[in-house]
Amino acid sequence: MTTIYYNYYASSSLFHGSILNIMGTRLDLVMIVENLAAGVRIWDGLVAEAKSLDELLNRFSANSEITKINHQASQQPVAVSDELWEILIDCKLYHKLTLGLFDISLRNFDKVELHTEQKTVFFKNSDINLDFGGFAKGYAIEKLKARLLNEKITQAFINFGNSSIGCIGTHPYGENWSVSVENPFNPTQILGEVFLKDNCLSVSGNTPANSKHIIHPETGKYVEGKKITCISTTNAAIAEVLSTTFLLTTSQEKSVIRENFANIAVYDEKEYYAQ
């Protein structure tokens, strides 16, 4: 089955592209572009980018770089690509800034050794697995947005599985891109609205079908409950980090983390309790 398709709506110069089953979810792009040919050319570039990130970061994909690392890094240091190296360094920084709550090792990031000179990674514990589930989509949105901006696209909306959204400019007939957050436990109920313009939104929380997917790194237990956190900011990766983190924090931790991020990002946070 082909998992990629697109449509061009000539009367409104609107291009819609979709990739199903990428990074465990689906990607939708809506952009305003002058013609179909230009749209397809840009879209092809985005698809290549998204696929290569999937190859890099998807631990459920047999051939991805991260799968290779997860298999080998507990036996010996494994050399990593430049791009993955940068990502690991960023994740280490966010791990520190979030008091250890943002943790791509899901357990104990301190046991992940990063050797700066050789750019290798080594797991000091054999049961460590790196997982970019709470980061990759935001990172991908940043890269896709950069490509779109480079192509002089001024109005675009990227939706990565509803939980990670990025946009450029505004809706063609609005002052922003306005999205509502649905209550996953009661889809007819709207929890709130978020207005986006040249920025990104990340939403974290449980859903009825998927109630065990966020692990608290200190306790090793799955996060329970129906809290939903939303972060909107200019950097989609930071939005991902904070929306996951704020799902786990106590109020004391939260105020420290806010301070830690004060110089890094300006963001809006919202919290909902779904019923």
Partner 1 sequence: MTKRNIMHNKNSNAEVDLSLRQFIKNLGYTAGGLALLTTVPWLQSCTPEKLAEIKNQKARVAILGTGSRGTYHLHNLLKIPHAQIVALCDNYQPNLNAAAALCPTAKTYTNYHKMLESKEIDAVIISTPLNWHAPMVLDSLAAGKHVFCEKSMALTMDECKEIYDAYLKTDKVLYFGMQRLYDKKYIKALQMIHSGVIGDVVGMRCHWFRNHDWRRPVPSPELERHINWRLYWESSAGLMTELATHQLEVSNWAMKSVPESVMGMGDIVYWKDGREVYDSISLVYRYKNGVKTTYETLISNKFNGMGEQILGHKGTMELAKGEYFFEEAKPAPGIMQLINQVEEKVFSTIPVAGPSWRPEVSGEKKPLYVMGEKSSVNSGLSMIGAEDDGSEEMLSAFCQASITGEKAPNIVEECYCSTILCLMGNEAIKQQRKIDFPEKYIIPYIKF
Nearer to partner 1, 26 or 254 (CB): 26
Provide φ and ψ at 268, rounded to 5°. -105, 135
Nearer to partner 1, 11 or 63 (CB): 11
Q: Which of 164, 171, 168 is nearest to 141 (CA)?
A: 164
Q: Is 33 exposed, middle or buried (0-12, 13-18, 19+ CB in 10 A)?
A: buried
Q: Are the beta carbons of 39 and 46 closer than 8 angstroms? A: no
Nearer to partner 1, 205 or 217 (CB): 205
User: What residue ranges bind partner 1 (CB under 8 A)?
Assistant: 1-3, 5, 7-12, 14, 16, 18, 20-21, 25-26, 28, 30, 32, 36, 157, 159, 161-163, 165, 171-174, 178-184, 190, 193-194, 201, 203-207, 209-210, 213, 228, 230
Count of Cβ atoms closer than 10 Å to residue 197 Cβ: 15
**Smallest distance, Å, CB 54 to partner 1?**
14
Nearer to partner 1, 92 or 227 (CB): 227
**Smallest distance, Å, CB 275 to partner 1?**
15
For the CA atoms of 80, 84, 88, 94, the dihedral, rounded to the nearest 10 degrees, stands at 180
Strand partners for 178: 195
**Smallest distance, Å, CB 3 to partner 1?**
7
**Smallest distance, Å, CB 223 to partner 1?**
11
CA distance 53 to 141: 11
Nearer to partner 1, 172 or 264 (CB): 172
**Smallest distance, Å, CB 33 to partner 1?**
12
